[in-house]
Amino acid sequence: MATIDLLLPFALPPPELARDLLRQVSLPALSTLLARGAVDRQQYDPYSRLLPHQQWLLTHGDPELARSGVAASAMTGLGLAPGTGKWFMLHPASLHIARDHLVLTDLRHLQLEQQESRALFDVARPLFDEAGREFLYGTETLWFMRADDWAAIETSAPDAAVGHNIDIWMPRGAGERAWRKLHNEVQMTWHTLDSNHQREASGRRMINALWCWDTHTDTAGSPASAAGSHDQATALLDAFLPGTPRASQASLPALIAAGGRSLAVVDSMTPAALSGDWHQWINAMQATEQTWFAPLLEALRSGKIDRATLVLSDSTRLLQLQCSRWDLKKFWSRPSLAALA
Residue 153 lies in a domain: yes
Indicate whether 244 and 332 sit together in one domain. Answer: yes
Indicate whether 198 and 135 sit together in one domain. Answer: yes
pLDDT number for residue 328 = 92
Tally the domains of the chain. Answer: 2
Indicate whether 41 and 144 sit together in one domain. Answer: no
Band of pLDDT at residue 247, cut at 50, 70 and 90: very low
Residue 177 clears pLDDT 60, i.e. is over it: yes
Choose among 28, 62, 106: nearest CA to 267: 106
Residue-range definition of the domain harbouring residue 278: 2-62+231-340
State the Cα angle at 187 between 158 and 183, rounded to 5°.
Answer: 65
pLDDT number for residue 234 = 67
Residue 220 lies in a domain: no
pLDDT number for residue 221 = 46
E-strand spans in 286-328?
305-313, 317-324
Residue 33 lies in a domain: yes
Q: What is the mean pLDDT of the chain?
A: 89
pTM: 0.91
Indicate whether 194 and 177 sit together in one domain. Answer: yes
Among 184, 213, 242, the domain-final residue is 213
Q: For residue 190, what are the contacts with CB-CB under 8 A and spacing of at least 6?
A: 120, 123, 124, 196, 206, 207, 208
Indicate whether 115 and 185 sit together in one domain. Answer: yes
Q: Are 284 and 272 in contact (CB under 8 A)?
A: yes
Taking residues 237-258, what's their average pLDDT? 75
Indicate whether 142 and 274 sit together in one domain. Answer: no
Q: For residue 279, what are the contacts with CB-CB under 8 A and spacing of at least 6?
A: none
Residue 78 lies in a domain: yes
Residue 325 lies in a domain: yes
Among 213, 241, 269, the domain-final residue is 213
DSSP label at residue 38:
E
Tell me how far apart the terminal alpha carbons of the chain are, to the nearest angstrom: 33
Indicate whether 164 and 91 sit together in one domain. Answer: yes
| Encoded amino acid at 320, one letter | Q
